[in-house]
Amino acid sequence: MEVTLKRTAALVARNPLQQHAAAALAAAQHQRRRPFSFSSLTRPPPNYPGHVPLSPVERAALVVGAGLGSLFNPYRGDLIAIFSEVTATPYFIYRLRDAMLASPTGRRILRDRPRITSTSLNLPRLRSLPEGTVGRTYVAWLDREGVSPDTRAPVRHVDDEECAYVLQRYRECHDFYHALTGLPVVREGEVALKAFEFANTLLPMTGLSVFAAATLKPSERRRFREIYLPWALRNGLRAKEVINVYWEEQLERNVEDLRRELGVEPPPDLRDIRKREREERRKKKEAEAAAAAAAAAAASTASAAEAAAAAGSV
Amino acid sequence: MAARSAFRRALPWLPRSPVASSLRQAHHVPSQRPFSTSLSASTPNPSSSKDPSVPDYAIPDPSRPTHFGFQTVTEAEKRERVAGVFASVAESYDRMNDLMSFGWHRVWKDHFVASLNPGFSPLGDPPRAPQHILDIAGGTGDIAFRLLHTAHVVNGNPDVRVTMSDINRAMLTVGKHRAARQLPASQQAALSFVEANAEDLTKARPLVPYPPDHSTSPDEYTGSEQPFFDPATATTGIPDASVDLYTVAFGIRNFSNIPAALREARRVLKPGGVFACLEFSKVVSSHPAGALFDAVYKEWSFRAIPLIGQLVAADRDSYQYLVESIARFPSQDEFRDMILDAGFVVAGDGYENLTGGVAAIHKGMKPRE
């Protein structure tokens, strides 16, 4: 982009009649100028507290490093977070921010900038809400999974300050998406939820995380292919933008109402399916063990009978 | 407002003042004096009346401004922040060292200890009195283990004992575990662990078990569970003139008050005892090849190292601090002058450059009276 502008400016400047155009072009070039590759001693000033602007080389290195690192060690949530930040630009985080701006609730969220941390939600109050409310469903999901709300790592590598908040909001609402869909925190559930999030928010990290399905067991992969991926794509594409849900205001609302309004239908309960499969496997193993024991017992009685007959004949 | 305080809570290394001002300060680095003396001249310290030969800047003052990387903080705050940095890097410290220097730090440390040659006696007859080596900022034990090996095995002198000291409990605990795993029993017996602040070795104590009970969340860190040594709980101290060799490797740039640490070193050393310091320094860039190497080194330091820290150790800020602290450390000549100022004598230049000046070994001797 810069090179084209420079060449155009040089060509235009040769013609004295277009000097004013050349001046305008030079001004535009200077304005649009961002150092292609800056040294960290001359890193541009941050746009918000904690902001670390990255050069393209650093960005590429983090895409590869954080992507591979989080694929091979899914417990490194910080690498997943960084991966989401460095792949969010260009285009995708701006599209999400524009989707927020296009909705009145989204605009209110961007103005209020609410934050969800480990201490911002009053869990006992949510537990006291009536059955079937969003807040109660959320706490029930937390209890079922045995997790508590985390303070998510702050966004550091998104250059635009508003887009940094949009990504932060997405990160903090992730547990609410879990509660909305009922998916558990096991790897299978997370991959299914990421597929849903990709279809809905179009963030590259969510889409690329679906490749983590390759690390699932064969039965899990089959389930994902047959049930959860179609569910995720169908619901993610059909549903309204979940980023625009003002969760703090929706806590006392009926969760089915919210699901209907958004256009999300919960998938088959994954924990139940897994439990049933485990039960079947265990029963099969027990049956096999019983059959083996019976066969061994039969064999031993047969050999004992032979030995007795041999002894008797002697 | 909530967002900002939430950012700060999640990232405790954020400065109190906006980051932009500290980055602007980065451009003033060459013109500022690299150690914390320039700003305290106007505030006389009442305790300086105790010993008129000790200048003001060599007395630790918790509220005196100093540098933490490219930021300006008080000495007390620097101590806390450095403690946090090293508590968080302790587990991955050795792996990160290998990644950052491509394993070359091992060569530096081997050369450092070989050039000191502890336990060596030229006449073949070991000295009568046991030799005492104090390894300051010993951390995970790289130098202490090499000192023990050279003295006990290479020089065959079992009368050498090493005291490993560090202000940071987490690092010292990692060192203790490594010693239990790697060292033979005779060398383990000659090694002791002490928590101390190098600026005041009269207060020290044996290593306290770490980490604290994880039933309390990190948000509720109380004073008794600090990752670093609190002098209020001192139970002993290092006496005057009790150390034959004082070593500090890659630690002194993290001290809040370097002149105070140098004077403490002089106090604990016996007359004729040696002060040896291995530390990052300024690349010799007078030669064009050196200037090119310096540019590459800076790019590697400031771009790749925080990135590796993020990917491997999940901690960009600690490694950003580490490379900034390297940039802020005085040059070879300036540090040699500080060593002379503290009362040591040096031989020749007083330092030896390693890898073109990336690191340097400074040696001084406490003069015999």
Measured in angstroms, the CA of A182 and the nearest CA of chain B are apart by 28
Range of the domain at B204: 2-365
Handedness of CA B212, B214, B218, B224 (dihedral sign): negative
Within 10 angstroms of residue B240's Cβ, the number of other Cβ atoms is 13
Q: Tell me the pLDDT band of A18, cut-offs 50, 70 and 90.
A: low
A133 DSSP 8-state letter: B
Number of domains observed in the structure of chain B: 1
Phi, psi of B195 (to 5 degrees): -90, 125
Range of the domain at A103: 56-263
Task: Tell which B residues from 5 to 24 touch A, by Cβ distance under 8 Å.
Answer: 6-11, 14, 18-20, 23-24
Using alpha carbons, select from B237, B241, B239 the residue that is nearest to residue B271: B241
The pLDDT value given to residue A14: 56
Cα A154 from Cα A175, distance rounded (Å): 16
Domain assignment present for residue A198? The answer is yes
Which residues from chain A sit within 8 angstroms of residue B4, using beta carbons? 49
Using alpha carbons, select from B227, B244, B67, B235 the residue that is nearest to residue B139: B227
Looking at the predicted structure, is the pLDDT value of residue B119 above 50? yes
Domain assignment present for residue A47? The answer is no
The pLDDT value given to residue B50: 57
Q: Do the chains contact at B10 and A151, CB–CB below 8 Å?
A: yes
Q: Please, are residues B281 and B359 in contact by the beta-carbon 8 Å criterion?
A: yes
Return the structure tokens found at B276: 């040896």
Highest mean predicted confidence (pLDDT) among A109-118, B261-270, B293-302:
B261-270
The pLDDT value given to residue B85: 77
Number of domains observed in the structure of chain A: 1
Length of chain B: 369
B306 touches chain A (CB under 8 A): yes
The 10 Å CB-count burial string (b at 16+, else e) for A139-156 is bbbbeebeeebebbbbbb
The pLDDT value given to residue A44: 87
Domain assignment present for residue A308? The answer is no
The pLDDT value given to residue A17: 54
- DSSP assignment of B60-111: --TTSEEEETTEEEEHHHHHHHHHHHHHHHTTTHHHHHHHHHTTHHHHHHHH
Looking at the predicted structure, is the pLDDT value of residue B199 above 80? yes
B300 DSSP 8-state letter: I
Q: What is the CATH number of the domain that holds B215?
A: 3.40.50.150
Instruction: Tell me the helices (H) and strands (E) count for chain B, helix number first.
Output: 13, 10
Q: What's the CA angle centered on A102, arms A97 and A105, to 5 degrees?
A: 90
Looking at the predicted structure, is the pLDDT value of residue B12 above 60? no
CA A44 to chain centre: 30
Domain assignment present for residue A288? The answer is no
Q: pLDDT tens digits for B151-160? A: 999 988 889 9
Lowest model confidence (mean pLDDT) among A98-102, B308-312, B357-361: B308-312
Residue type, B301: S
pLDDT mean over B210-223: 49
Q: What is the pTM of this model?
A: 0.72
Lowest model confidence (mean pLDDT) among A4-8, A265-269, B195-199: A4-8
Q: Coil, helix or strand for B205?
A: strand
Q: pLDDT tens digits for A22-33? A: 554 544 444 444
Q: Tell me the pLDDT band of A117, cut-offs 50, 70 and 90.
A: confident
Q: Do the chains contact at B303 and A58, CB–CB below 8 Å?
A: yes
The pLDDT value given to residue B170: 85
